Structure 1
């Protein structure tokens, strides 16, 4: 399966293709993949993420899936790359990893059937949909700061084409220990469905990214932790957590909190879904 990576090479942004352990530019220059300075593999105009999708995550929260998927938006300024630092601002404590798979759009897509969605997908990459839950109380359900703060959307290491998403394993590791493990087969809505659903009212452009949901096991990480997300056939995305050099300003806006909702959601509890349980099957 071809894999393409964007890297900084001799000070320039260069598109490369993976050749074994090397990355090869169109002009023939080579760099070792493990030594390259990676950039996000795509430059999207928008990043759209689905809420609950993996059945293990639904069961973890004791939730009931809606009749159709719901979504939130991550600004493009949240983009990060393989090897990049994820910033937990000073004064915040509830930064969670969420290992995911990202769908990358290959051509302009609007009002298509799910069966045709594959024709509009350029490929797939690994994602980590980090969330800064300290702001859950203040975003009024938008998830804007929770999921959209700077550095909270690592993608990479590369864009893989001709990849079949069916039956693929995903796992997340923190400091070498497996903390999440799941399969695309446990998704309620597959990649093609998600693309077609969004494209009913929102035009998807080449490079746009859809994040397809995370399995159970999302938990907080701390500065110094190394977080890796592995997806069979897509590779391993690695990031490390750092403390921001400055805290959240206190002279404007709502401040980070550690409410019951914040703690419960960050630790895999059922606060958001309390009193609502899935029906018997």
Structure 2
């Protein structure tokens, strides 16, 4: 496996390779791992995320999985990096973490079989698919502001090639305390399936990112919290939460709300999936 990172090195954006505790550029320059200023490891043209995929998350919501995965889009303006600040806008309170594995496309991909998807994947990285549930009442269909607001898509710290996604543990910690503990083996649809499914009608280009879903126990975090997502073989993605300096404008658009749906979804209730629960026996 090789781990690539994108960092600022002497004021320029440089792709480097991890070599133990150092990051080395192709011209021989090196920087210590912990002192590097990280950027997102890739520059995608699009970021596509799957809804329910981990069985623990399905059980938490007392839901049933649909017959095929469903997706939403995160704009590239939501990108963030390892050690970056995740901004919770002033006036909002329901910002949830969601630790995930991200798939990075390596070759243009369209209309392929799942068995061929591996040949179109460059590698994998870690994602934290933050959700600003204050806007769920108005954006529940598109998830645009819920999942697409600025800074809500940290990726990193690096991109790892030749990584086997089977049997990998995913752990999310808040201030050092374990909040999520899951495995890639509990995913209903694996990485290859997700790539092939999207590529049936949407061309995927090198650098594009697919987020593969989160396990149970996504919960709100507060300004000052430090959130870490650790995945076997991919490292640790770390971010901290800050309060936005200004409130969401009140002279245009829908405003943050705190309905039963907002609270229930943010705190792990079943509101979002009422009506698609399995029948009680």
Paired residue secondary structure (1:56): helix
Q: Which runs of 5+ in 2 are unaligned?
A: none
The aligned residue for residue 17 of structure 1 is 17
| Cα offsets for 1:11-59 (capped at 9, x unmatched) | 0000100000000000000000111000000000000000000000000
Paired residue secondary structure (1:221): coil
Q: Does 1:265 align with 2:243?
A: no
Q: Does 1:222 align with 2:215?
A: no
| Cα offsets for 1:186-218 (capped at 9, x unmatched) | 000000000000000000000000000000010
The aligned residue for residue 141 of structure 2 is 141
| Residues 73-222 of structure 1 aligned to structure 2 (within 5 Å) | 73-222=73-222
Paired residue secondary structure (1:63): coil
Paired residue secondary structure (1:220): coil
1: CA distance between counterparts of 2:206 and 2:217?
Answer: 32
2: CA distance between counterparts of 1:97 and 1:68?
Answer: 24
Q: Does 1:28 align with 2:25?
A: no
Paired residue secondary structure (1:265): helix
The aligned residue for residue 234 of structure 1 is 234
1: CA distance between counterparts of 2:4 and 2:147?
Answer: 26
Equivalent residue pairs, number: 281
The aligned residue for residue 274 of structure 2 is 274
Paired residue secondary structure (2:214): coil
TM-fit CA distance, 1:260: 0.3
| Cα offsets for 1:151-194 (capped at 9, x unmatched) | 00000000000000000000100000000000000000000000
User: Once superposed, which parts of structure 1, at least 4 consecutive aligned residues long, lie more than 3 Å away?
Assistant: none
| Cα offsets for 1:121-154 (capped at 9, x unmatched) | 0000000000000000011410000000000000
Q: What is the TM-score when the length of structure 2 is the normalising length?
A: 0.99
Paired residue secondary structure (2:192): helix
Q: Which runs of 5+ in 1 are unaligned?
A: none
Q: Does 1:41 align with 2:21?
A: no
2: CA distance between counterparts of 1:266 and 1:29?
Answer: 45
